[in-house]
Chain A
Amino acid sequence: GIQVEQSPPDLILQEGANSTLRCNFSDSVNNLQWFHQNPWGQLINLFYIPSGTKQNGRLSATTVATERYSLLYISSSQTTDSGVYFCAVERVDSNYQLIWGAGTKLIIKP
């Protein structure tokens, strides 16, 4: 089945720093979503991005479907950005089932 790999697995930054999180997937996908799981466990939708680039405040994402990767950019990090960032892809042969990466654990220090 399709493999979803996220890197780095862990990232510790000072407040104000920028970061880039990567998601590679092993096969063609219909769609890709980025989520933030906060320290309380809640999953927050960040981007629904099958291709191209989207921006939302300090966050932006780019998916290059032909090369099978997506990047999540976080600028001017704040402590509230801490948590785990997941990417999840929708298989081409299953237009609903999300396959999840293992996540990038981000800690922002004040």
Chain B
Amino acid sequence: NAGVMQNPRHLVRRRGQEARLRCSPMKGHSHVYWYRQLPEEGLKFMVYLQKENIIDESGMPKERFSAEFPKEGPSILRIQQVVRGDSAAYFCASSPLTNNEQFFGPGTRLTVL
């Protein structure tokens, strides 16, 4: 029973490039959440999605960031024209329909040069 999967685990991009982060939820989970963690800090909520729907993106910057969770395939967090300040660990979590206990993937560590 696989847990939440994220890839890549590490991603290096130069300023101005695009970053695509992928998340496959646990089997049977239909809710996906993305969080960002800066060094020495707790996680900050970015966006909550269900299949084909963005439920809440209030924590996501209005520009350059977008997220989707298509009917088929993983959820994608996309960062366009990355800047150094985007360097962080990005975690994805999923939860079942029955409650909101969130289970986390291993994270993607994005480094912008």
- Give chain A's interface residues, CB within 8 Å of chain B: 4, 30-31, 33, 35, 41-43, 45, 48, 86, 88, 90, 94-103
Complex interface: chain B residues within 8 A of A94 (CB): 56
- Does A33 contact B89, Cβ atoms closer than 8 Å? no
A100 close to B44 (CB less than 8 A): yes
Q: Which of B31, B43, B106 contacts A98 (CB 8 A)?
A: B43
7 interchain residue pairs of minimum CB distance: A100-B42, A43-B104, A48-B101, A100-B43, A97-B45, A96-B100, A102-B42
Instruction: Give the complex CA separation of A102 and B106 in angstroms.
Output: 19
> Are A96's CB and B101's CB within 8 A?
no
Known A96-B33, A97-B56: A45·B101 in contact at CB below 8 Å? yes
B91-113 CB mask vs A (1 if < 8 Å, else 0) is: 10001000111111011010000
CA distance A42 to B109 in the complex (A): 11
- B95/A96 in contact, CB under 8 A: yes
Q: Give residues of chain B (46-85) contacting chain A, Cβ–Cβ below 8 Å.
A: 48, 55-56, 59
Residues of A within 8 A of B106 (CB): 41-42
- By a CB distance below 8 angstroms, the chain B residues around A102 are 41-42
A41 proximity list for chain B (CB < 8 A) = 89, 106-107, 109
Residues A35 and B104 in contact, CB atoms below 8 Å apart: yes
Closest-CB distance, A39 to chain B (whole angstroms): 13
Q: A41-B109, A94-B56 are in contact. Are A33 and B42 (CB under 8 A)?
A: no
In Å, the complex CA distance between A103 and B56 comes to 25
**B55 → A minimal CB distance (Å):** 8
A88 to B55, CA, bound (A): 20
A96 touches B41 (CB 8 A): no
A102 → B minimal CB distance (Å): 5
- Give the residues in chain A near B95, CB-CB below 8 Å: 96
Q: Report the separation of the CA atoms of residues A62 and B99 in the bound assembly, to the nearest whole angstrom.
A: 20
Residues of A within 8 A of B55 (CB): 96
A-B contact pairs, 18 of them (CB 8 A): A4-B42, A31-B100, A33-B101, A35-B104, A41-B109, A42-B106, A43-B104, A45-B101, A88-B43, A90-B100, A94-B56, A96-B55, A96-B56, A96-B100, A97-B59, A98-B43, A99-B45, A103-B41
